[in-house]
Structure 1
Amino acid sequence: MAGMNAQVLHGGSYSGKYEGKYAVNGQIPGVRWPGYDGFYRAISNDWNRTPSVEDARGCLDAVARLNAVFRKNAKVDCAILKNTYCNDGLGSEFHHYPDDGKLLNCGYSYEFLSDAMLELPICKVTNGKLDEAGPAYKCLIIDGETYLSTAFLERIYILAADGLPIIWIGERPAGSRYHSESNAEEKQTAWKRALDRVWNAPGVTHLESREEVPKMLQHLGVLPEVMLDGTKDVMTAVHEDETARYVALYAYNRVEYAPDEPNPDEFGVSSIFRKGTMKSTYQRPGKQSRKTIRVKLHDEEDGEIRLCNPWSGKMEVISGSAMMVENADIAEDKGTAQQYRELTVEIEEDELILLAIEKKEKNRTDNYNTEVTEKCEADQDCGCDVKGIGMRETVGEIIFETLDLEEFGPNEDVECSFLRSGFRKYGETLAIDLPDQLKPWRKIDAALRTFSGRGTYRGTIRLEKKEPGKRYILNLGNVCDTFRVQINGIETDFPDQVMKEADVTEFIQAGENTLEVIVTSNLYNKLFEEPIAWNGMYLPYTPKDYGIWETKEKPICLYMESAGLY
């Protein structure tokens, strides 16, 4: 969220082709469909690949658009000293700083810096910010460090003297990190002298616990780029270039792993390393988590705001009112009053809202490669103090009537290449007469336990009235794996594969509309149907659910929401 150098797709061979040592006609002798796998089956993505070229392209387009934003210059509120690794990258991911999300939920973004990084030439304080042209950190947090070097203590003293607020949590360090700084009495004396000087320096604030940090930062006038009300788990990120400032709001989930209690639904890497929850099997929480929150965006230029959709590549012009924010606890002479845009936002778990704020006197950025829709009528001149995004109500009626299945497999029985594979009609058209018949494929018929391919659902959407200026969102409840939507024979923009939603505003009409949803599974059930042994361990197999189904918490419905801000 805060910053990214690159994003890399990792996995084994997706083509099934091999022309290395011992190859015979582009294959390793004896290999079975879908062909050569660059990793052992247990770790490879061979069973996790999609057979849909269209869906793969849609997902990668979304990744590319997000890359275009998150590789821009990041503006980060807090730098946190960290000289050790956080974790191994497997398991829970909702935060890396163990404050239970206190900083995040107040809107503060953070990154970790080592003491070596603070010695870089760019780490200078200007206007109270560290590396103002880069991340522009507004403070440095030192949390429970037992050992710190003499050079680091001297560096912190200089940063504090130059105007960077330092938050120091916990007791005094016990000694230097390096033996070379403590192997003589005079060196120990020099270390203690450096510690005493910085420990008592102006600009260094001492706290007993992490829970005190957000309130103290506000008291010191260190306000985040995005202010949140602390009522929901939300991460923020701000990136910018010469023309626009991008603000991301991500409602994170609290999925955690329990190494001593492995999840029975786990497989592959997760099972090998005994991480109880991995994103490879993660399903969006069943509970309802949509909530209205208040958001204030720091914006001195009061530029035009656009709501960005990374799945479709489109932006919608919206607007928001400006306000001045100054914490009541902040002394007037600190000059901390800042201009913010205040919004009311509806957001739910795992949802990403991405905004682009235009910088005045600059041309609109073309890096997002977007179409721009018309601005809503209720703009910033309407006199409203607070604007809102995403307020919804349920309308219309959705009826699924039939399901056609197509199995994905090799074009010929002897074929072992993924490249020479395709879809074939599977069975007869299934009638969906009742809502409870809308369930995962493997629960429709035991013969579909190892089925992999795609299913085409056909039905209708009945909408009594289509209101102008409203957005219509088709929510498919639980749908797995990837999917595309057609309304009245026209394919919509690529749907949101995380939220399981498709914007159908441009395609739906008042009255009865034809609906077609194409759901494509990956190959997991087909290729990983039995437990396999790896390094003396057995990796479990649990069939995955594919298709469309709903629960009380995740109904299939049509939402109507206000377009833009209102």
Structure 2
Amino acid sequence: MRYYGVSDIPMTEFWYPKAPSAQNEYAKPIYNAASATHLYNKPMLAAEACTQIGVKWNEHPFSVKYLIDYNFAKGVNHLVFHTFSHTPQTNVYPGSSFGGHIGFPLVRQQTWWPYMKDWTYYLARNQFVLQQGEYVADVLRYYGDHFERPPFDLDAFPKGYRFDYLNAEILHDKLSMKNGKIHVENAGDYRLITLRDSEKMLLSTLKKLEVLVENGAVILGNKPLDSPSLMDDEADLKELKTISDKLWGTSKVGVKQVGKGKVYWGKALDDVLKEEGIAPDVIAPKELDIHWIHREIEDAHIYFVASKEDKPVNLALSFRINNVSPQIWDALTGDQQDAKIWKTSQNRTNVALSLASNGSIIVVFSKSDKQPLASKVTHNGAVVLNTESGWSKFYENKAVPKLLWKNDDFMALESGEFVFHHNGKETKKEVSVEEISLQNNWQLSFNEGWDTPETVEISELKSLTELKNEAIKHYSGTTTYTKTFKLNETGERTILDLGKVSNIAELWCNGKKIGVKWAPPFVYDISNVIQKGENKLEIIVTNTWRNQLIFDNTRPKGQKKTWTTNPPKKNETELEEAGLIGPVILKFIK
């Protein structure tokens, strides 16, 4: 932690899809660097991000979203990508991938390079928010004065709580008791200190702990019996034993009140947290892989929440906070709106959330007089949103969120009766959704120079790899899908669901750009541009380089169209799904 502490911008790293070691995440600890960032009052923790061994050229922004979000939740808030490599040639595709074998391929000739800003806007919004205020945690985990290895990120720690590691410098120079909490100068407040390898402890450390305990600190750890240093002489060891006997008892398991504070030993951290009445900061459904981080600014609490679930999921999160109201901030779009489905109970606030595949959201709590619309929502009798702690519901092939709000206007993507339950009362809303399939009869056009026809008509949407033309089957780049159709009427709201897209979609309707999506669900609100009569859709879909690189392995020398230092091997022939796959459905909500 000390060398992070003297850095202007501490920096760590994380690899995609995992570290090149049998230790995996153990080999690349983030929490040590994050702790130093918090305790040494640094605003940013940088990370060499998404370092990769074995470039496949099937990578795209959504490939690494789960990994980046996970490390945001660990404490990273400033990404330094590995690698943007220099390709001096201007006429080669896709170009260098740095050393031929290593580095996430961020090169200017990437197929998806024109959409970098759409991706980096998402990253920048999250990074900005995560650089605000102070990190919030309950536990300081002291490294110890005698240890054989630093702690690892995957070391066990109770769910629902967060921690920072603590080194000797911070312990001695910056720790004090303030308002009944363990305060770190120019940093946050904590409730408890855990000790590691504490059977051997420096006298200076024990003296500092004694002062903290007498003034109200709570400590968990084994009784010090000796010093790891020859600097502590016989008189020092005698004093160490005296203080140790003062703070600890003689039983194997116990707790002792000393001054205003307590010392626990022989107990699990979970049990001590319960005994001290320290409730979890966040309670998530046990079966879900959900990660979060909590920051506090002067007038608000900020939680970044990320899912590592591949399936869309609706869930309830319970936050250790009350007398505030929640907002939902979406870093994909920049949208901010009041949460609709939430409740307060037993000094906690429970919020119902909808997370897409590997989705994330920012929940912001601040003082306001806003009230929840409901605490539970049912659709045709089945619960679709609920604020009860531990509740969750996966969705297999349906878009999430099932319920949408435009400010206070409620929309649903399925027909039926929706019932909003709140304080024993029910509010019912009947929703009618008419669907029109747009899966058939599209015109496709391609970038020039890749042996594809200028345009092609297809009777039904499917992956490009399922078409007969070899050049189309192996095409990499941007495909423009065009379709015109007539409507006799529209709904109050009109939603276009593209279904499955490989990999990035840019939607135009009647000559107006609707937006770009690089992460599912590929669902667009086109209410303001759809019209009675003739309509024209243009869907610009970009896939990755891999299929074309595989195709190029079959071309003779002198006729190849690509160059990179690390193309697929000749025995690698399996293609990646590509293009607009669907089903594409137009939904009229009434």
**Is TM (by shorter chain) over 0.5?**
yes
Distance 1:154 1:123, change over 3 A: same
Aligned equivalent of 1:501, options 522, 531, 535: 522
The counterpart of 1:402, out of the listed 414, 417, 442, is: 442
Q: Quote the offset at 1:309 in angstroms.
A: 1.6
Whether the aligned pair in 2 keeps the contact of 1:291 and 1:347 (CA below 8 Å) is yes
Q: C-alpha distance in 1, partners of 2:285/2:589?
A: 23
- Residue 492 of structure 1 aligns to a residue whose secondary structure is strand
Pair 1:295-2:317 in alignment: yes
Question: Would the alpha carbon gap of residues 71 and 314 (structure 1) be closer, same or farther in structure 2, given more than 3 Å must change?
Answer: same
Residue identity in the other structure for 2:435: G
CA distance in 1, matches of 2:344, 2:237: 52
1:76–1:136 CA contact under 8 A, matched in 2: yes
Opposite residue 221 of structure 1, the aligned amino acid is G
Quick one: structure 1 residues 373 and 124, their matched pair in 2 at CA, closer, same or farther if it must change by over 3 Å? farther
The corresponding residue for 2:58 is none
Alignment partners' CA distance in 1, 2:220 and 2:581: 48
CA distance in 1, matches of 2:176, 2:467: 59
| Counterpart for residue 359 of structure 2 | 351
- Distance in 1 (CA, whole Å) between partners of 2:235 and 2:588 is 73
- 1:72 and 2:150 correspond: no
Give me the identity figure in percent.
15
For residues 121-180 of structure 1, give each alpha carbon's deviation from its aligned partner in whole angstroms, at most 9, with x where no partner exists: 266543325339733333334466675544444434444443344344xx657755x444
How far apart are 1:111 and its partner, in Å?
3.5
Cα-to-partner distance string for 1:89-116 (whole Å, 9 max, x where unaligned): xxxxxxx3433xx734xx3233433344
- Distance in 2 of aligned mates of 1:360 and 1:298: 17
Once the two structures are TM-superposed, the CA of residue 310 in structure 1 deviates from its matched residue by 1.0
Please tell me whether residue 130 in structure 1 is matched to residue 186 in structure 2.
no
Partner of residue 453, structure 1: 477
For 1:456, the aligned partner's letter is T
- The 5-angstrom pairing of residues 180-259 of structure 1 reads 180-181=230-231, 185-200=234-249, 201-202=256-257, 203-206=262-265, 208-209=267-268, 213-214=269-270, 216-253=272-309
Distance verdict in 2 for CA 1:432–1:109, change over 3 Å = farther
Report the 3-state secondary structure (helix = DSSP H, G, I; strand = E; otherwise coil) of the residue aligned with 1:59. Answer: helix
Report the secondary structure of 1:341's partner residue.
Answer: strand
Q: Which amino acid aligns with 2:539?
A: V
**Aligned with residue 59 of structure 1, among 94, 111, 119:** 119
Contact kept, 8 Å, 1:474 with 1:558, in 2: the verdict is yes
Report the Cα offset of residue 250 of structure 1: 1.4
How many pairs align?
442
Asked if 2 retains the 8 angstrom alpha-carbon contact of 1:315 and 1:373, the reply is no
Measure the CA separation in 1 of the matches of 2:219 and 2:585: 50
Counterpart secondary structure, 1:57: helix
Cα shift at 1:454: 1.2
Among residues 40, 45, 63, which one is paired with 2:99 in the alignment? 40
Quote the Cα distance in structure 1 between the aligned partners of 2:410 and 2:187: 37
The residue that corresponds to 1:10 in the other structure is 82
Map residues 63-102 of structure 1 onto 2, 5 A cutoff.
Answer: 63-81=123-141, 83=143, 84=149, 96-99=153-156
Deviation at 1:236, TM superposition (A): 2.2
Change (3 A) 1:245 1:505: farther
Q: Secondary structure at the match of 2:128?
A: helix
Q: Which has the higher contact order (CA 8 A, sep 6+)?
A: 1
The structure-2 alpha-carbon separation of the partners of 1:185 and 1:317, relative to structure 1 and needing over 3 Å to count, comes to: same
Farther-moved stretch of structure 1 (292-301 vs 141-150)? 141-150
AA at the equivalent of 1:40: G
Alignment counterpart, residue 476 of structure 1, candidates 472, 496, 499:
499
Q: Would the aligned equivalents of 2:82 and 2:103 in 1 still touch at CA under 8 Å?
A: no
Could you tell me whether the CA contact under 8 Å between 2:476 and 2:548 is conserved in 1?
A: yes
Between the aligned partners of 2:80 and 2:236, the Cα distance in structure 1 is 46
Q: Does structure 1 conserve the Cα–Cα contact (< 8 Å) formed by 2:446 and 2:454?
A: no
Give the distance between the partners of 1:539 and 1:148, measured in 2 at CA.
60
Asked whether the equivalents of residues 498 and 584 of structure 2 are also in contact (C-alpha less than 8 Å), the reply is yes
Q: Is the 8 A contact 1:78 1:109 kept in 2?
A: yes
| Structure-2 separation of matches of 1:218 and 1:521 | 51
Distance 1:111 1:471 in 2: 48
Q: Is the 8 A contact 1:396 1:462 kept in 2?
A: no
**Distance in 1 between residues matched to 2:247 and 2:509, nearest whole Å:** 66
1:374 to 2:374 alignment: no
Cα offset for 1:504? 2.0
Residue 226 of structure 1, CA deviation: 3.1
Distance 1:159-1:349 versus aligned 2 partners, 3 A rule: farther
Query: Aligned equivalents of 1:198 and 1:308: distance in 2?
Result: 47
Matching residue's letter, 1:313: G
Question: Could you tell me whether the CA contact under 8 Å between 1:154 and 1:194 is conserved in 2?
Answer: yes
Q: Is the 2:279–2:320 Cα contact (8 Å) retained in structure 1?
A: no
1:130, 1:386 → 2: CA distance? 45
Q: 1:323 aligns with which of 340, 344, 355?
A: 344
- For 2:504 and 2:186, the matched residues in 1 are separated by 41
Tell me the residue number matched to 1:93.
none
Counterpart residue number, 2:329: 308
- 1:426 aligned to 433, 452, 457, which one? 452
Deviation track 1:325-376 (CA, whole Å, cap 9, x = no partner) reads 1xxxxxxxxxxxx3x3222334355211222333459xxxxxxxxxx96345
CA positional deviation for 1:455: 1.7
The TM-score with structure 2 as length reference comes to 0.59
Within a 5 Å distance, the mapping from 1:434-445 to structure 2 comes to: 434=460, 438-439=462-463, 441=465, 445=469
Contact preservation (8 Å) 2:503, 2:579: no
Q: What amino acid maps onto 1:454 in structure 2? A: T
| CA RMSD after TM alignment | 4.9
Deviation string for 1:229-270 (max 9, x for gaps)? Answer: 4342222222243454322221235xxxxxxxxxxxxxxxxx
Q: Report the AA paired with residue 480 of structure 2.
A: T
The one-letter code of the counterpart of 1:98 is: D
1:249, 1:352 within 8 Å by CA — same for their partners in 2?
yes
Q: CA deviation at 1:119?
A: 3.3
Distance 1:360 1:4 in 2: 30
- Mark the CA change 1:558 to 1:385 in structure 2 (over 3 Å): closer, same or farther: farther
Report the AA paired with residue 304 of structure 2.
A
Name 1:263's counterpart in structure 2. none
**Which deviations, in whole Å up to 9, do the C-alpha atoms of 1:5-56 show, x marking residues without a partner?**
5332332335x34xxxxxxxxx7xxx98259859312124447663445411
Partner of 1:262: none
Which whole-Å CA distance do the structure 2 matches of 1:350 and 1:228 have between them?
Answer: 16
Q: Distance in 2 between matches of 1:134 and 1:466?
A: 55
Higher strand share: 2
CA contact (8 A) 1:3 1:74 kept: no
Conserved? CA contact 2:140–2:166, under 8 Å: yes
Question: 2:97 & 2:211 partners in 1: Cα distance?
Answer: 51
Q: Is the 8 A contact 2:174 2:184 kept in 1?
A: no
Q: Find out whether 1:545 has 2:576 as its counterpart.
A: yes
Q: Give the whole-Å Cα distance in 1 for the aligned partners of 2:589 and 2:190.
A: 37
**Residue 525 of structure 1: how far off its partner (Å):** 5.0
Instruction: Give the match for residue 103 of structure 1.
Output: 158
